[in-house]
Amino acid sequence: MRCYEWENVVYAYGDIWQVIGATVTHFGLTINDSGLHARIKEIEGTNKKGGLRFLTRDPLAMMDLIGLDGPRYEEGFSSLDELFEWAISMPLFRRKVFERETISGKQGRRLEKRPMHSKFVTEWLPQKMNSNASNVAPEEAEQIDSRAESLIPAATSATVHDLGDKAGEESGATYLPVDERHNLLSKALLRFNKSEQYKSLLENNKERTLKDAMWTKMRRILPLQGKQLGQAMMALKALVWWNDGQPRLGLQANKSLDKIPALDADTVDQILLPWINEHWR
């Protein structure tokens, strides 16, 4: 498998990787022509590209992570039925992901442009589910689509809390247990040695968020507009510096508000803003 080029795998067998990609995206992963990526939920909302963290271009490692049978892929497939069976064998598969796709709007246009994807969604999968339902005992039928309750051991799941705060479920993906995305993210970061990079990205994002909030609050308290407001903000960034927990006027650039670590919201509201309101002229 390692002899395969990444592109040769993800573009093989028509639209099958569209099917697989539509599944794993609900678990915070993205498969594209440059590799497998983790999506950082805390960042992707405001910076889609910056919210991607590269994991691997190794097809075998990617398949192993998401639970696909690499050796079976190497054997090849003689029919669409075999290919689709292989795709849905991964523990991450959720039929409800595809039940949400309709014949109208954006999803409908995708079905029109991708015949294999369309066949899977509109024909093969409904027939498969109907066949399963008729051949499975009622008590087992309730468990057909409840796989991957825990993708990593409970002892390892604590890593999720170390790496960042828990985020809510994706909008429109309420059929996924909340922990599943976090469990898979933790597993992927550990597997590909990206945990430290992930923590650094979260810390940098938190810093930017706090500073952006600080600048926004400063703009709002200044009774200025347009060019005057811009000039006043430039002056505040350059001339107001932080010393011993208090704002001061000075020219020590390494202590200016633009250079120091972000201040927490309480410090901004209780100390910085009142001081600026009094001294800005």
119: tokens are 């066949």
Domain's final residue, options 129, 164, 193: 193
Verify that 132 and 226 share a domain, yes or no: no
Q: In terms of Cα–Cα distance, which of 259, 253, 258 is closest to 234? A: 258
Verify that 220 and 101 share a domain, yes or no: no
Verify that 189 and 207 share a domain, yes or no: no
pLDDT for 54: 94
Distance CA(91)–CA(106), nearest Å, equals 27
Domain's final residue, options 193, 220, 247: 193
Does residue 52 contact residue 39 with C-beta atoms inside 8 Å?
yes
pLDDT in tens, 47-91: 888 888 999 999 999 999 999 999 999 999 999 999 999 999 999
Verify that 227 and 101 share a domain, yes or no: no
- Which band of pLDDT confidence, cut at 50, 70 and 90, is reported for residue 244? confident
pLDDT for 57: 94
pLDDT for 182: 85
Listed in sequence order, the residues at least 6 apart from 165 whose beta carbon sits closer than 8 Å to its beta carbon are: 42
Domain's final residue, options 193, 210, 244: 193
Question: In total, how many domains does the chain have?
Answer: 2
Distance CA(37)–CA(164), nearest Å, equals 17
Position 1 in a domain: no
| End-to-end C-alpha distance for the chain, whole angstroms | 68
- Provide the domain limits for residue 219: 201-279
Position 114 in a domain: yes
Does residue 11 contact residue 17 with C-beta atoms inside 8 Å?
yes
